[in-house]
A and B are shown apart, each in its own frame.
Chain A
Amino acid sequence: MAWKKVKSILPAGNYYFSGNEAITEGAVAAGCGYYAGYPITPATEILETISVRFRETGAVSIQMEDEIASICACIGASWAGAKAMTATSGPGFSLMQEGIGYAVMTETPVVIVDTQRAGPSTGQATRVGSGDIMQARWGTHGALPIIALSPWSVQELYDQTINAFNLAEKYRVPVFLMAEEATAHLRERIDIAGEIKLFDREKKPGVAAFGTEESDGVPPMPIFGEREKLLVTGSTHDAYGIRKTDNPLTQEKLIVRLNNKIVNRREEIIEYEEYHLKDADIAIVCYGFTARSSLFAIERLRKEGEKVGMLRLKTLWPFADRVISDVGSRVNRIFVPEMNMGQVVGEVMKYASCEVVPYNQVNGEIIQPNTITEHLRRLL
């Protein structure tokens, strides 16, 4: 079985961590064997704490010369058998896009943390934003489905880092942890469980590593050093990795499978939480730190007797199309607050039949509960 239960390296109990520290501990708990990164605010503490923690656990880490080298080294390590991770923020995330496409095309498990800051360009390095949601999905040329998670607390940064490794190994795809400056630098109490469920990549010696009979299959993944004479290439390839750069059928078969292996499994990948949605007239659809303010706002309005609810997207990609469609058919309006000029709201509009109202705040600060309460009042 690819699933296994392991004892947590940190003794079970309560800890007081910053978000970035929790990501490091999540990586340690998930058995991350290789980390390559480059300093960038507000993700630097991940590289710093990993440099210390990996020495203690025997895992390998390095500060590379840039983010391009970081993602590439992680992909190389992944094929050498490591669970690999890198972490960055906006500018570094932009540099990584070509490597991310390579990971998609070669079906390489790799975890990429994007501790989002206010962009574009250098923007406000120490301030919060969620401007990279579309970049995660569409940033690399010829983009194909990936998995992106949106944690809202320090606890979830820990849990979702472990989950990110499991998803990456299970589906052979890059997985993005779309952290935000506000949670990365927040300190909160978290609970570490004594036992952790991990997924290790499936290996089947001699079986084709880049193709399956099914049009949405995930092939087993061999690693270098097992005498499989692996051939890994970012060029269009057949099931055995042989380059086929002018064969229309090979190209179509590969791209369709890379698309379908995620799209057709979205129900088992997607996680979300509902709050007060059963009788709601208005629903907030939110993610990340903004969901904290949103929850505060709807709890207050509920006490006032208003029928407001909330859907928190824990998984941003693949997008929760069916859930949105369902919520959209039950409420009159959906309110989508975001720390960008409108990214997830466009997806919500695609699938919701009701009116969808965006709220965009891009001043480098978190959206306050009061702001959300006021806007909801106007919609009631």
Chain B
Amino acid sequence: MARDLEQYLRPGIGATTFCPGCGEAILMRLILRAIDELKIDIDDMLFVSGIGCAAWIPSPYFNAETLHTLHGRAIAFATGAKMFNPKLKTMVISGDGDLADIGGNHLIHAARRNIDLTVICANNMNYGMTGGQVCSTTPQGAYTQTTPQGNPYRPMDLCKLVQAAGATYVARYSVTQRVALINSVERALQTRGFSFIEALTPCPVQFGRRNQLGAPADMLKSLVDKCVMKEDAENLSLEELKGKIITGEFSDGCS
């Protein structure tokens, strides 16, 4: 963690519990950087998380109001808090399994209501905390603890889902696109209405290991190679787009 951001960390907690090479510690820093750049008083914020690795980004590390909730239900808890006290600048941080699988219905309906929440979904393409099981975002064919023959199903495009449900701001970036992701969190925080960021993050220990994706640095490099900005993707052929991940802002109600 950059020294100047330590002011936002809960004192006395010490080292994080993220595995070596986990991208979520990077995401943690990028979120705090955005808050710092916007000069938001962190005491005006409420962080809500569910269950899973990414849910531990704010809990217990952020030195701020934090509601660490049930598996899949973070958005429902956040809805209640935000509705009763709209002054709470409310950010939900959780994983893909939490927000999109078990909590998918709450995600859809919060986007439909366009309630003023910022949701950051750390997508590591599997269930990390429970030991690497398949998820709705796991690529087809990928090996996990519960798909030893390879995942037979197609992954879900979370941004399309949330966009279709009516969110004001929808974006996807990788933790390797640091500046773009910081700017995106800032835009999301400034959005009035439902904002959703899918943050791609490597999970070397649970996902990378089973799919021979190499060391943490290799997985980061792979994300750098795979992520294409939406605007650049428009000029690429279907053949060239194979295996690529399109990143950028898909809905931007602020502009």
Contacts and interface: CB of A to CB of B under 8 A. Distances in A.
Interface residues of B, number: 33
Given A243-B59, A243-B60, A34 B80 contact: yes
Contacts, number: 122
B67 A79 contact: yes
Contacts of B60: 231, 233, 241-243
A143 interface: no
B76 A69 contact: yes
A102 B70 contact: yes
B203 interface: no
A84 interface: yes
Interface string B63-95: 111111110010011111111110110000000
A80 B84 CA distance: 7
A228 B70 CA distance: 22
A234 B73 CA distance: 12
26 contacts: A33-B84, A36-B80, A60-B84, A64-B76, A64-B79, A65-B106, A66-B105, A73-B77, A73-B79, A74-B80, A75-B80, A76-B82, A80-B80, A81-B85, A99-B70, A224-B65, A224-B67, A224-B85, A225-B65, A225-B87, A229-B43, A229-B65, A230-B65, A230-B66, A234-B70, A243-B59
**A contacts with B: majority SS:** mixed
Contact of A80 (B59, B68, B73, B81): B81
Contact of B80 (A84, A227, A243): A84
A98 B70 contact: yes
A39 to B, nearest CB: 15
Interface string B204-236: 000000000000000000000000000000000
Interface in A221-257: 224-225, 227-235, 241-243
Given A33-B84, A235-B68, 20 more contacts: A36-B79, A65-B106, A69-B106, A72-B77, A73-B76, A74-B80, A76-B79, A76-B84, A79-B81, A80-B81, A82-B80, A82-B84, A224-B67, A229-B10, A229-B65, A229-B66, A230-B65, A232-B68, A233-B59, A234-B70
B48 interface: yes
Interface residues of A, number: 40
Nearest to B56: A243
A9 to B, nearest CB: 19
Nearest to B61: A231
A72 B80 contact: yes
Contacts of A235: 68
Nearest to B17: A243
B81 A69 contact: no
A72 B50 CA distance: 11
Contacts of B73: 68-69, 72, 99
B192 interface: no
A77 interface: yes
A62 interface: yes
A227 B65 CA distance: 7
A200 B80 CA distance: 19
A231 B43 contact: no
B94 to A, nearest CB: 13
A65 B69 contact: no
Contact of A76 (B63, B76, B87, B105): B76
A79 B69 CA distance: 12
A82 B108 CA distance: 25
The DSSP consensus for interface residues of chain B is mixed
B160 to A, nearest CB: 20
Contacts of A242: 13, 60
A87 B7 CA distance: 42
Contact of A234 (B43, B69, B79, B80): B69
A224 B69 CA distance: 15
Contacts of A33: 84
A80 B79 contact: no
B46 interface: yes
A62 B59 CA distance: 28
Contacts of B77: 72-73, 75-76
B244 interface: no
A81 B68 contact: no
A99 B46 CA distance: 20
B109 interface: yes
A59 to B, nearest CB: 9
Contact of B68 (A34, A229, A233): A233
A77 B65 contact: no
B185 to A, nearest CB: 21
B65 to A, nearest CB: 4
Candidate in A73, A77, A98 with the most chain B CB atoms within 10 angstroms: A73
Contacts of A234: 68-70
A224 B137 CA distance: 33
A102 B69 contact: yes
Contacts of A64: 76, 79, 109
B66 A232 contact: yes
A230 B83 CA distance: 19
Interface string B19-41: 00000000000000000000000
B70 A224 contact: no
B65 A228 contact: yes
Given A77-B81, A77-B84, A69 B59 contact: no
Contacts of A228: 65
A79 B77 CA distance: 10
A65 B80 contact: no
B88 to A, nearest CB: 6
A76 B67 CA distance: 8
A224 B46 contact: yes
The 5 residue pairs across chains A and B that have the minimum distance between CB atoms:
A76-B80, A73-B80, A72-B76, A77-B80, A76-B77
A80 B70 contact: no
A50 B80 CA distance: 16
